[in-house]
Structures are given as structure tokens and as C-alpha cells.
């Protein structure tokens, strides 16, 4: 009977009929000879046919329901991850046959995790439902939309030449509409989105490739500041491959001693003496050559390598300080940049204090630089940590001031000692009056709050003269010194000149 049941489930009709007739014959052979065999056989055959039909009907109903559950995401009511991939494959075939363009859109909500963490998953799920409903109204009627999970959606658009030309406008409009506020459980929530686009047939010939390229593009959109869209191009693919290679080689570099610490002097603009140094990480790889920190630091932050890398920077810097002190060199305070990931670690300060103790470094020799964006991400947690470090004697600087999410309350309420003006302002301070005005205003504001100002990237005497006129306290840049290797510090003539009150106007 189990064998017959399996054949029915597989809809193998010839086997079902054969075994039904066979069982009828067996039953007939067991019946008394007085019973009319034709009548019994007919009754049994009808019974088996009826049962088989009912079973197949129920099987079809259950199968359709199961397929529907697989095809539709229960939370959003959109196509599921599985089904949207099937839809993508079908539309590739359609576009191939009709000579049309297929736009594969990866849509990712901005800062959705923040809402989930702040209000809970129930509110997060309700918001996803609202966003899904709005998605069905902001794209053309022929759009196919699926939910990939977390905060990501996939949108498929089959386009003719005219529609392709108008795609950028569609994307901009969608971002604007999705960014409008949502009423969720008596809350008013705002959330933006970023979109990455991969076009068939220009970039990608199959579903897997198109989704991968759209994902690359949406990551580029997020890196560009979010609430925007990016189209995948060949260069993006090459850059992605390089990023993967940098990540691999950077992990290797942590073990192979190809990383090196350099130190750039900071100069008092009045006395022209060295009053501090900034620790800067440098990397020369056997395969990649010299890789700029501007390239590998963001990759380290995205991949989590920044945590072991940050620990390495602290330990190497402290080791060099100890070596200089043992050589009788007077070491000025040294600034080290800290990432958001480092500051968020509960063990950050205990580990830092343990390293200071291991290398017998006075905390007053350490200056911690943080960016404005870190304060935005976790203002309360950072405030407590910064207060602790300040009480221990460490100096604190807010780095790249004016380029991030500036808030004057950070300068007023947190225990900063320095404000660093980003080199973007200093570079054009002579030629651009607006940059000059902003720089002057930052210096004036900082002084009113008893903060000293450090100008980064000074390269000319004209810049130096203006900064002196504005009352800037400290300068850093190639005009004074490049970043020097640790073993060059003791004998470098520039360092000697700084400590002998050498004038840069001579």
C-alpha cells in the first residue's frame, strides 16, 4: 500500500492503474465463489478511482498552497527571495527575445538597524510592511518587486529605449517618495534608501551576476553618502576586485610586518617648535606596492579588520615611545586616530590602560582623535568614554572638523582639548574666500570655548601667514615636515630644526 501511495503522490498514472487492478484481483481471489466477481471488481475499481482522484485533488491544492507560500514573503506580501530570482531569470529570457533592457535594482534602506535597535523588531517589521506598500506605488506598473530579507529589496524593470532614458528620473523619484515619513504604531518614522542598478545585457547575462553587480552598486551608493543611486559599471567591478585583494593582503600584513608607523610633527605657529606628533599608519605590500591609508582604512572598517589593526597601531606606537625614552629623547604628546568600531568595544579602555601600563607610558603623552561621525552614531556612549579618558590625563581632539555632522554642542559639552580643521579647508584657504571665512570662524568659535586649533595640510607660506593672522595655534603639513619613520626621529634634521626654533620665513 505504501508503494501505491508513493506512486499516487508522484502522479505516475500507469503504475497507479496497474497496482489498483492488481489489488482488485487479489481481493477477488479471497472472496467466496458465490459473489459475482464482475460486480465486485467494478465496485472496487470505482472505489480506487474515486480515492485516487480525491487524493490528487488534495495533493494539488496542498502543492499550490506550498508554492504560494514559497513565492510570497509573509511579512511584506512581495515576492520572496526564491521567487524574485525565478522572476529575474524569466525576464532575462524575455529581454533577450525582445531586445529590451532589464534593470535590476537593489534597494537598501538606510539606517534601518538603528530603528530596529531603538524601537524593537515589532516596529521594524511594521515599517518594512509600510515601505513594501509604498514600493508598489513608486515604480512603473510593470515593475516586479521582491523582498530579499533584512532591509533589502529587489526591483525588476523591463525597459524600452525611451524608458531606459528616463530611468534616472524614476530612481530619483523613488528615493524621494520612500524617504517620506511613515506612521507606525503611533510613531512618525523617517527612513531613506539607496539604490544600486545593474543593466542587462550591458553588464551581466544571468541572474546571479546581475544581483551581485546591483549589490556592488548599492554599496557604492551608501559609501557616497546614502539616499542616492549608482549604476554598476566595469570600473566598479575592477575596484571591487581590488578591494577584495586589499582585504586579503591587509590580513596578511598584520602577520608579516609589512605595516609601519610614521610620525608627523605638529608645530606651534608662534614659537615654531614641535609640540606634538600624529601617528600615521603606512603600508607597502609586496604584491600591491604602496597602498594609501585613504584606500585601505575604509576597507578595514567595512571588513572588521580595523579592530586588530587599531590594537596593532596602539601597541607599535607605545613600543616606539618606550624606545625613544630609553634613548633619552624627549617625546611630545602623540595623537592616534580611533575608529567608531574601536570606541564601541566595551574592552577598549581596559585594553588601552593595560598597554600603557605594559610600556610604562604616561597617559598625558597620548592624544585621542575622533571624528564627528563617531559622536553622531553613539553620542551618549562616546561622551562617557571621553570623560573617563580625559580624567585619566589623555588629551582629546575632534578630527576633520567641518566635514561631517557638525554640532556645536559636542564642542561645548564634551571634554575636547583640540579642534582639527580638515585639510580640505586649508588647501584652498588662499584662493577661496568662503574657505578662508569658515576657517576663521572655526578658529574664533573654538577659542571662545577654550579649545586650541590645529590646521592640517599646510603646504605653503601663504597658508601659514593667513593662519597666523586668524590666530590658529598649531599647524601640521609638508611645509614643516613629512611623516617620518620611527627610526628617523632621533637624527632627522627637520626635527632638530623644529626644536631649535628654526624660522620657516627665512
Task: Give the chain's residues under pLDDT 50.
Answer: 1-11, 63, 68, 405, 498-499, 501-506
Instruction: Let me know if residue 212 belongs to a domain.
Output: yes
Where is the domain boundary, 38, 71, 104?
71
Q: Which pLDDT belongs to residue 102? A: 95
Q: Which pLDDT belongs to residue 44? A: 56
Q: Which pLDDT belongs to residue 505? A: 46
Where is the domain boundary, 191, 211, 232?
232
Instruction: Let me know if residue 88 belongs to a domain.
Output: yes
CA distances from 181 to 95, 189, 373 (A): 36, 5, 24
Length of the chain: 506
Q: Both 178 and 108 in a single domain? A: yes
Q: Which pLDDT belongs to residue 486? A: 86
Q: Both 203 and 90 in a single domain? A: yes
Q: Both 92 and 203 in a single domain? A: yes
Q: Both 117 and 21 in a single domain? A: no
Q: Which pLDDT belongs to residue 18? A: 55
Q: Which pLDDT belongs to residue 504? A: 44
Q: Both 47 and 99 in a single domain? A: no
Q: Both 193 and 212 in a single domain? A: yes
Q: Both 17 and 96 in a single domain? A: no
Total tally of structural domains belonging to the chain: 2
Instruction: Let me know if residue 246 belongs to a domain.
Output: no
CA-closest candidate to residue 335, choices 416, 429, 414, 271: 416
Q: Both 216 and 125 in a single domain? A: yes
Instruction: Let me know if residue 457 belongs to a domain.
Output: no
Instruction: Let me know if residue 382 belongs to a domain.
Output: no
Q: Both 131 and 27 in a single domain? A: no
C-alpha cell of residue 472: 590658529
Instruction: Let me know if residue 506 belongs to a domain.
Output: no
At 141, which CATH number? 3.30.70.270
Where is the domain boundary, 14, 43, 71?
71
Instruction: Let me know if residue 313 belongs to a domain.
Output: no
CA-closest candidate to residue 418, choices 404, 441, 400, 392: 400
Q: Which pLDDT belongs to residue 4? A: 41
C-alpha cell of residue 83: 521567487
Q: Both 32 and 126 in a single domain? A: no
Q: Both 148 and 222 in a single domain? A: yes
Give the separation between CA 483 and CA 495, rounded to whole angstroms.
11
Instruction: Let me know if residue 409 belongs to a domain.
Output: no
Q: Both 171 and 100 in a single domain? A: yes
C-alpha cell of residue 137: 506605488
Range of the domain at 43: 2-71
CA distances from 420 to 9, 114, 120, 176, 190 (A): 73, 29, 37, 35, 32
Q: Which residue has the cell 504560494?
A: 68
CA distances from 52 to 2, 5, 17, 39, 291 (A): 14, 9, 10, 20, 71
Amino acid at each position: 500500500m505504501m508503494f501505491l501511495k508513493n506512486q499516487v503522490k508522484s502522479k505516475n498514472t500507469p503504475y497507479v492503474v496497474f497496482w489498483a487492478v492488481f489489488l482488485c484481483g487479489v481481493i477477488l481471489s479471497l472472496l467466496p465463489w458465490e459473489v459475482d466477481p464482475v460486480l465486485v471488481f467494478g465496485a472496487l475499481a470505482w472505489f480506487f478511482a474515486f480515492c485516487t482522484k480525491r487524493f490528487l485533488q488534495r495533493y494539488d491544492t496542498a502543492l499550490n498552497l506550498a508554492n504560494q507560500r514559497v513565492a510570497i514573503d509573509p511579512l511584506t506580501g512581495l515576492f520572496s527571495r526564491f521567487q524574485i530570482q525565478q522572476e529575474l531569470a524569466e525576464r532575462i529570457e524575455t529581454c533577450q527575445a525582445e531586445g529590451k533592457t532589464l534593470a535590476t535594482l537593489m534597494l537598501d534602506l538606510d539606517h534601518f538597524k538603528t530603528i530596529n535597535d531603538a524601537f524593537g523588531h515589532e516596529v521594524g517589521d511594521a515599517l518594512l510592511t509600510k515601505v513594501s506598500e509604498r514600493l508598489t506605488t513608486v515604480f512603473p506598473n510593470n515593475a516586479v518587486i521582491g523582498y530579499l530579507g533584512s532591509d533589502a529589496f529587489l526591483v525588476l524593470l523591463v525597459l524600452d529605449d525611451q524608458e531606459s532614458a528616463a530611468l534616472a528620473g524614476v530612481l530619483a523619484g523613488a528615493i524621494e517618495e520612500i524617504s517620506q515619513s511613515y506612521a507606525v504604531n503611533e510613531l512618525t518614522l523617517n527612513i531613506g534608501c539607496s539604490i544600486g542598478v545593474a543593466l542587462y545585457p550591458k553588464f551581466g547575462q544571468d541572474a546571479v551576476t546581475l544581483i551581485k553587480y546591483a549589490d556592488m552598486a548599492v554599496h557604492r551608493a551608501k559609501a557616497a553618502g546614502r539616499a542616492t543611486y549608482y549604476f554598476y559599471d566595469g570600473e566598479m567591478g575592477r575596484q571591487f576586485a581590488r578591494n577584495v585583494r586589499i582585504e586579503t593582503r591587509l590580513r596578511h600584513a598584520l602577520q608579516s610586518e609589512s605595516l609601519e608607523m610614521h610620525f608627523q610633527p605638529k608645530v606651534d605657529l608662534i614659537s615654531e617648535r614641535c609640540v606634538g606628533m600624529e601617528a600615521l599608519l603606512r603600508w607597502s605590500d609586496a604584491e600591491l606596492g604602496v597602498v594609501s591609508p585613504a584606500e585601505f582604512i575604509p576597507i578595514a572598517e567595512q571588513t572588521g579588520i580595523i579592530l586588530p589593526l587599531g590594537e596593532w597601531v596602539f601597541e607599535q606606537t607605545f613600543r616606539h615611545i618606550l624606545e625613544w625614552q630609553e634613548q633619552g629623547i624627549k617625546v611630545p604628546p602623540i595623537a592616534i586616530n580611533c575608529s567608531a568600531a574601536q570606541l564601541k568595544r566595551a574592552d577598549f579602555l581596559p585594553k588601552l590602560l593595560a598597554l600603557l601600563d605594559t610600556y610604562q607610558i604616561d597617559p598625558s603623552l597620548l592624544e585621542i582623535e575622533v571624528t564627528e561621525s563617531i559622536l553622531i552614531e553613539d553620542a551618549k556612549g562616546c561622551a562617557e568614554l571621553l570623560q573617563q579618558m580625559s580624567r585619566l590625563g589623555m588629551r582629546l581632539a575632534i578630527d576633520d572638523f567641518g566635514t561631517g555632522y557638525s554640532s556645536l554642542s559636542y564642542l561645548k559639552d564634551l571634554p575636547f582639548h583640540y579642534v582639527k580643521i580638515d585639510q580640505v579647508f586649508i588647501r584652498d584657504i588662499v584662493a577661496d574666500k568662503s574657505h578662508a571665512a569658515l576657517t576663521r570662524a572655526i578658529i574664533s568659535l573654538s577659542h571662545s570655548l577654550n579649545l586650541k586649533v590645529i590646521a592640517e595640510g599646510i603646504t605653503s607660506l601663504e597658508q601659514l601667514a593667513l593662519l597666523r593672522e586668524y590666530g590658529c595655534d598649531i599647524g601640521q603639513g609638508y611645509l614643516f615636515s613629512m611623516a617620518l619613520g620611527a627610526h628617523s626621529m632621533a637624527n632627522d634634521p627637520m626635527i632638530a630644526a623644529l626644536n631649535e626654533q628654526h624660522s620657516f620665513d627665512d
